[in-house]
Every structure is written in structure tokens, then in C-alpha cells.
């Protein structure tokens, strides 16, 4: 850390020519990647604009971003727009700061370890089979609905441990509708007047909180009756595990804290994975050779590990791993993350003043990854090329940051990648899909990728599994 004086030799951050207060808010959320390319090309790796009414420094170089992410709690703190903070709730892990954040991460971590995620894989595979069979029986559907069906089911059952009595079609649909409203207001101007996105989002939040509260009561009741998953020796959901945890001083989480934590997990844990799933649904049909290779790998994995998909089988899926890495590189789900400077500091020669909002542009960092910058053809940064991860350059350290980094790195990254791999494995073993418009565009808001028409597609189940020979 270094205090800035006009004589300290630090450069001021170049400013984009924009209207004060209004600045780049609209373009950033709706045309972020193009805006980033233009500005970083013109102004260099760091520049200043206005976002949602705040002066904001935008950072796009991977080494600078990683440095910032690792200075969390020391030089920087999370800085969500007011709308996001209100809608997430003040106890959510994304919002809490300092020692409380570290404590909460410690409490949540056991639910997201390699072992915990591996244990969940067979249940994930069962959910994937159930969803795929349903889609195949319908024959046609929207990719967006299918992707959410899968990731929402996983979030409700495995993360939030939703009780069976709550898992009716009606509840799920009402949760999905409320969640959509809530999500659309996350990055809005915090004006609570009827008709505004923020107002609708608060209404959506009420519905979600009500379901989370009901589930919490049912979970507690089951535990009291000795019928919780842990009492029955069954796999414990993340939510049920949280009922008993205590911090170092022996304090558990209050009802309000638990609900905020559950809401954050629902937010962080399903739209993100759904968005990546939609990108896969859209990208793979444009690259049939990749799909063929995925099928061949599944045949090999099934021959070696048997027909069931478990943690060991997922670990053996090397090409699958490259496909998932590539989709998250090319189509960043969380394009950027907000921070605030706790002190004046020196960012690689630029002066960052105390209190300034900072936007770390994860998407641009991946697009300009030095390993492939300047490459043409299939290895060009904007091409979909899973093979790049299997080459020598793919093994080197670079700017791949889809899950952020440092103390706030995505808690669910193992779960998210397992979800994507399991669904693709199930599809590659026995199903086929065809988007009706293979070039359908995606919007970038609110999370990483939403096909503008919902990605209509046809869906079939094969009469014989590709792994049965």
C-alpha cells in the first residue's frame, strides 16, 4: 500500500469521455464485451468511467485482476451496487466483509470440498437422467427452460435440501418466476416504486424468502424428530449441514442469517450454471467434431468405470474438462465483479484513491489471455477450441478466471463444473439435441448468457445407449 501525493510518480487513471453519473451503466450491462474491447484498446489496461452513479475504475489485465482479488479485506472490499446488496440481504456470504466473511467461508467450505462434490455426483447424474428423459418425452422445448430445470433442481435438492412436500411442480414454477423478477432487479437503480425493476425484485424476494423460511422450518422439524438426513445416515444437503454449524465462539447462524445465506447460494448456484449449460447447448452443435470426441470419451470412460457416473468417472473425463474450461473462457458467466478501495493504493503504477469503486473485468482478462493473444485460426482467442487446453500453452498459468480468485473465489466451482460435466456425459451417452436456430444470439444480462428467444430445440432419446456395444 502506498499513499498518493502528486509527487509520488503514480499516474492518474485515464478517464473515458462519458456523461457524469450516467456513464457506461447501460452499455456495460448490455454490450459489455464490445465496450471493453473498445476502451481497453484505446485507454490501456485501466480506465475510469461512471457505473450506476459511481465513479468506477475498470481493470482488464489478468495479472492486475489476480493481484486485486488477492488483496481482498486488505486493500479492497466487495462493493455491490445498492440494489444487489439489498436484494441479497446483509448476511449473505457475498455481501459480508472482513472477519465475518472469512468465518462464514469456513462454515460453508465443508459442503463444497472435492469429497463432498464427489459424493453428490451419482445424485446429480440421477437428476440429469430424469431431466433428459422428460425433455425427450416432450420432444421439443426451449433450451433455457431445460437448463434451468436441471440447475434449479440441483440447487433446490442438493444445496437447499428442499423437502419433498415443497418440491411440487407449482412451488418450483413459483420459485422460478419469483427468482426471475428478483434477478432482473439485481443491478438496477434502487428506486422502490411500483413498476420499477427494483420494486418487482423486492416482491420476488418476498416469495423466495417465504419458501426458504418454510423449508428451514421443515428441516428443523425433521431433525427434531430424528428424521434428518444425518440422523438417517443419508447424504446431508448443504442447507441441513448449516443448521448445526457453529463458529469458533460456538455461535450458530440465526434464522435471518440462514435465509440470507440460502438465498445467496440459490443466486450464485443456479443461474450461473444454467447460463453455462445454455452456452454448451448452443456452441456444441456448431462444432460437431467436439461432440463426436465427447461421445468417444464417454464410451471409453464407461468401458473403464462402468455405466454409472461417479466422482472417479468424472475425473477420468479429460476432454470433457477441456470443453467445460473452454465454454467458461469464451463465454464468461460472471463477466465482471465489483470492489471498493479501502485505502489509496498503487495499482501497477496507477493511483487508486480510497473509496473508489473498481470493476474487475474477468471476461476481458480471459479474452486477452497472453497464451493465445495474437493467435489466428482455431486457437484465436475468440474461437471455441477445447483442444487449446490439451496443448502445451494450455498447461501454463494464464488469465483463466471464470470463478474469480483470492478469498472470494467462487465457493461452488467444483460443484458447478461437476454439474456441467455430468449433464454432458449423460447427454453424450444416450441423447441428441438440435437447436432450431444454431446462430441464436445471447444477451449478456443479467448473468452471462441468455438466448434472446430461449433457444428452442428438439430433443431425442436414443433407443440404445452409445455406450452399449
Residue ranges in contact with ligand HEM by CB under 6 A: 78, 93-94, 105, 159, 264-265, 268-269, 272-273, 276, 328, 333-334, 337, 402-404, 408, 410-412, 415-416
| d(C-alpha 464, C-alpha 423), whole Å | 18
The answer to whether the peptide bond before residue 446 is cis (omega within 30 degrees of 0) is yes
Q: Which lies closer to ligand HEM via its Cβ, residue 201 or residue 366?
A: 366
Q: Give the shortest CB-217-to-ligand HEM separation in angstroms.
A: 22
Q: Which helix (H) or strand (E) element contains residue 429? A: helix 413-430
Dihedral pair phi/psi, residue 193, rounded to 5° = -125, 145
HEC sequence for 389-451 = HCCHHHHCCCCCCCCCCHHHCCCCHHHHHHHHHHHHHHHHHHEEEEECCCCCCEECCCCCCEE
Q: Which lies closer to ligand HEM via its Cβ, residue 4 or residue 389?
A: 389
Q: Give the shortest CB-204-to-ligand HEM separation in angstroms.
A: 19
**Rounded to a whole number, what is the distance in angstroms from the first to the last CA of the chain?**
63
Q: How is residue 460 written as a grid cell?
A: 431425442
C-alpha pair distances (Å), 268 with each of 103, 125, 274, 379, 465:
19, 21, 11, 31, 34
Radius of gyration of the CA atoms of the chain, in A: 22
Q: Which helix (H) or strand (E) element contains residue 337? A: strand 337-341
Q: Which residue is nearest to ligand HEM (CB)?
A: 412
Q: Give the shortest CB-455-to-ligand HEM separation in angstroms.
A: 17
- For residue 463, the tally of other CB atoms under 10 A from its CB is 6
DSSP state of 15: B
Q: Give the shortest CB-466-to-ligand HEM separation in angstroms.
A: 26
Q: Which lies closer to ligand HEM via its Cβ, residue 4 or residue 345?
A: 345
Q: Which lies closer to ligand HEM via its Cβ, residue 83 or residue 273?
A: 273
Q: Give the shortest CB-268-to-ligand HEM separation in angstroms.
A: 3
Q: Which lies closer to ligand HEM via its Cβ, residue 93 or residue 428?
A: 93
Q: Which lies closer to ligand HEM via its Cβ, residue 290 or residue 416?
A: 416
Q: Give the shortest CB-366-to-ligand HEM separation in angstroms.
A: 11
Q: Give the shortest CB-308-to-ligand HEM separation in angstroms.
A: 22
Q: Which lies closer to ligand HEM via its Cβ, residue 4 or residue 187?
A: 187
Dihedral pair phi/psi, residue 19, rounded to 5° = -70, 130
Amino acid at each position: 500500500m502506498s499513499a498518493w501525493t502528486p509527487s509520488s510518480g503514480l499516474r492518474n487513471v485515464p478517464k473515458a469521455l462519458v456523461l457524469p453519473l450516467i456513464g457506461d451503466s447501460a452499455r456495460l450491462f448490455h454490450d459489455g464485451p464490445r465496450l471493453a474491447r473498445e476502451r481497453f484498446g484505446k485507454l490501456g489496461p485501466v480506465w475510469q468511467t461512471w457505473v450506476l452513479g459511481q465513479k468506477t475504475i475498470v481493470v482488464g489485465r489478468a495479472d492486475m485482476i489476480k493481484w486485486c482479488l488477492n488483496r481482498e479485506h486488505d486493500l479492497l472490499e466487495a462493493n455491490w451496487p445498492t440494489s444487489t446488496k439489498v436484494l441479497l440481504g446483509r448476511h449473505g456470504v457475498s455481501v459480508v466483509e472482513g472477519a465475518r466473511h472469512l468465518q462464514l467461508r469456513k462454515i460453508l467450505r465443508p459442503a463444497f470440498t472435492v469429497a463432498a462434490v464427489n459424493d453428490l455426483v451419482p445424485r446429480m447424474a440421477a437428476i440429469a437422467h430424469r431431466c433428459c428423459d422428460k425433455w425427450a418425452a416432450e420432444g421439443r422445448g426451449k433450451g433455457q427452460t431445460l437448463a434451468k430445470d436441471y440447475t434449479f433442481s440441483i440447487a433446490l435438492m442438493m444445496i437447499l435440501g428442499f423437502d419433498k412436500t415443497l418440491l411440487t411442480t407449482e412451488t418450483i414454477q413459483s420459485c422460478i418466476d419469483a427468482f426471475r423478477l428478483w434477478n432482473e432487479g439485481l443491478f438496477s437503480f434502487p428506486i422502490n416504486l411500483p413498476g420499477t425493476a427494483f420494486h418487482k425484485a423486492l416482491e420476488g424476494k418476498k416469495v423466495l424468502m417465504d419458501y426458504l423460511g418454510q423449508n428451514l422450518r421443515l428441516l428443523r422439524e425433521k431433525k427434531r424428530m430424528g428424521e434428518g438426513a444425518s440422523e438417517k445416515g443419508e447424504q446431508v444437503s448443504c442447507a441441513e449441514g448449516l443448521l448445526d454449524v457453529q463458529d469458533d465462539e460456538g455461535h450458530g447462524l440465526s434464522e435471518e442469517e440462514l435465509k440470507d445465506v440460502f438465498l445467496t447460494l440459490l443466486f450464485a448456484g443456479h443461474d450461473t450454471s444454467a447460463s453455462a449449460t445454455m452456452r454448451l447447448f448452443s456452441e456444441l452443435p456448431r462444432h460437431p467434431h467436439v461432440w463426436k470426441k465427447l461421445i468417444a470419451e464417454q464410451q471409453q470412460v464407461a468401458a473403464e468405470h462402468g455405466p454409472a457416473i461417479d466422482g472417479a468417472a468424472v475425473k477420468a473425463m479429460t476432454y470433457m474438462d477441456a470443453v467445460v474450461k473452454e465454454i467458461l473462457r469464451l463465454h464468461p458467466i460472471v463477466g465482471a465483479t465489483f470492489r471498493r478501495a479501502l485505502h489509496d493504493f498503487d495499482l501497477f503504477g496507477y493511483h487508486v484513491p480510497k473509496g473508489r469503486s473498481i470493476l474487475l473485468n474477468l471476461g476481458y482478462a480471459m479474452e486477452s489471455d497472453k497464451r493465445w493473444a495474437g493467435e489466428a485460426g482455431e486457437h484465436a482467442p475468440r474461437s471455441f477450441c477445447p483442444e487449446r487446453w490439451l496443448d502445451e500453452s494450455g498447461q501454463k498459468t494464464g488469465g483463466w478466471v471464470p470463478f474469480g480468485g483470492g478469498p472470494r473465489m467462487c465457493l461452488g466451482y467444483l460443484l458447478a463444473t461437476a454439474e456441467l460435466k455430468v449433464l454432458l456425459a449423460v447427454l453424450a451417452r444416450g441423447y441428441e439435441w438440435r437447436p432450431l436456430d444454431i446462430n441464436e444470439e445471447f444477451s449478456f444480462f443479467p448473468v452471462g448468457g441468455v438466448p434472446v428467444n430461449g433457444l428452442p430445440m428438439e430433443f431425442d432419446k436414443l433407443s440404445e445407449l452409445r455406450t452399449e456395444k
